Structure 1
Amino acid sequence: MPKDESPPTVVVAVNEKGWMNEEMMTIWLTKCYTKRPDGYFKTRKALLVMDSMRAHITPQFKDKIKACNSIPVIIPGGLTKILQPLDISVNRSFKAVLRRLWEEWMVDGEHSFAATGRMRRATFQQVLGWIDTAWKSVTIRSAFRKAGITGTDAESDDSPAEEERALHLPPELAELFRSDTEDEEFDGFCFVE
């Protein structure tokens, strides 16, 4: 577990293997999911849409979800790309903003260098700040509409997705950071102590 304190809006949890499992899902359920509007007091029933990962489908975890006044809904295998709101738009928007923030830091940020001349990685605190900013920029409601879960096709007042914003770097510098294909996902950051 990193020693640095994270912002109050970012929860950091780790396990030995780095996999999402029932223990990690329980941490997410208690520290994140119950913090949503009406989540703590459980005043309104909610729908929790998940894929069929083993940690989502155990009877014990489903009971924990129901105890939060929520209905667990499991998307059948092979349909996640079509029905999972996170996969449809949230993850991509989040990663696009995270990538933009990293690119801005690479070009304009303050950097320190090791004795060998190698530039040091962004600090854990910097990355947590980027995560916080990126998460605040995503719109969850539109993802549910795109998945057809809300049952409405009505337009909303949601702001345009961050991924559609133009990159604010000179083209020759921006090209250095782009992946080979538009579909390639951002792999994230690696921290080594």
Structure 2
Amino acid sequence: MFAVMTLRFVCLSIGGVYVLESEKAWSTQNVIRKWVDLMLPLVLRGSQRGLLIWDSASTHRAKDMKNFLAERRVDQVMIPAGMTAYLQTLDIAINKPFKDYLRLEINDYIENRMSRNKNNNFVKPNLQEVVSWVRNAWGKVTDSCVAKALKAGYLDKTSPFQASYIAKHDRLGPVILKELESNEILAGIQGLDLEENDDIPEDDDLIVFE
């Protein structure tokens, strides 16, 4: 697939990998909109809604972006400033190993395949080469790595809050845990059927032992 859009925005597919390119290499609204339309249909089914957890960049907070996502049944959760290391699942446990694997691919290219031109200057790799680095690096990110990331970001509800990174926050961890415990107690109380335990008839005589 190849498409040219406004502002010299380009989207193409190489070896099964979609490449989104903008003139200034920024994550613009055009890039995000194209990514949403490419990726989310692969995971959303029927009446399911999507959820994007990302930082509060101006591009994400823009009214046009909010309307665009709402039309596609996609909700947003904005991560507060300074909390990415605790709440952004990708940054917590996926991006680091992916970048490490990508660095190995780049080093291998530099050491074994990088060529020089007639002026003895290094020739930049072509797009196909770069895509192969990304594909190979992502292929080494295992399912267990993703599962750990979901636990660390508190997105796996089968795991306790204590297993998340936010639980380790000196100030917020105890506050959130206390709130969760309070909600559990309240839910338990609301779930009790007190009428079933009220088995004493109102007209029974009450005997008091002193």
User: TM-score category by the smaller chain?
Assistant: 0.5 to 0.7
- The CA deviation string for residues 89-109 of structure 1, in whole angstroms up to 9 with x for no partner, is 22212211110111122233x
CA distance in 1, matches of 2:23, 2:108: 32
1:18 to 22, 25, 28: 25
Task: State the structure with more CA Rg.
Answer: 2
- Quote the offset at 1:82 in angstroms: 1.0
- C-alpha distance 105-20 of structure 1, shift in aligned 2 (>3 A): same
> What is the 5 A alignment of 1:104-115?
104-108=108-112, 110-115=113-118
5+ residue gaps, structure 2: 1-7, 161-210
User: Percent identity among equivalent residues?
Assistant: 25
- C-alpha distance 143-9 of structure 1, shift in aligned 2 (>3 A): farther
CA distance in 1, matches of 2:41, 2:32: 12
- The CA deviation string for residues 154-173 of structure 1, in whole angstroms up to 9 with x for no partner, is 8xxxxxxxxxxxxxxxxxxx
Residues 1:76 and 2:80 are matched in the alignment: yes
Q: What is the RMSD of the two structures over their aligned residues, measured on CA atoms?
A: 2.7
- 8 Å Cα contact 2:55-2:80 kept in structure 1: yes
Report the equivalent of 2:65.
Answer: 61
Residues 1:142 and 2:148 are matched in the alignment: yes
Report the equivalent of 2:123.
Answer: 120
Q: Which has more strand, going by share of residues?
A: 2
- C-alpha distance 119-53 of structure 1, shift in aligned 2 (>3 A): same
Q: Which has more helix, going by share of residues?
A: 2
Report the equivalent of 2:195.
Answer: none
Q: Which amino acid aligns with 1:82?
A: Y
> What is the 5 A alignment of 1:1-193?
6-35=13-42, 37=43, 39=44, 41-108=45-112, 110-138=113-141, 139-153=145-159
CA distance in 1, matches of 2:9, 2:115: 20
CA distance in 1, matches of 2:12, 2:50: 31
Higher relative contact order, structure no. (Cα contacts within 8 Å, ≥ 6 residues apart)? 1
* TM-score relative to the length of structure 1: 0.65
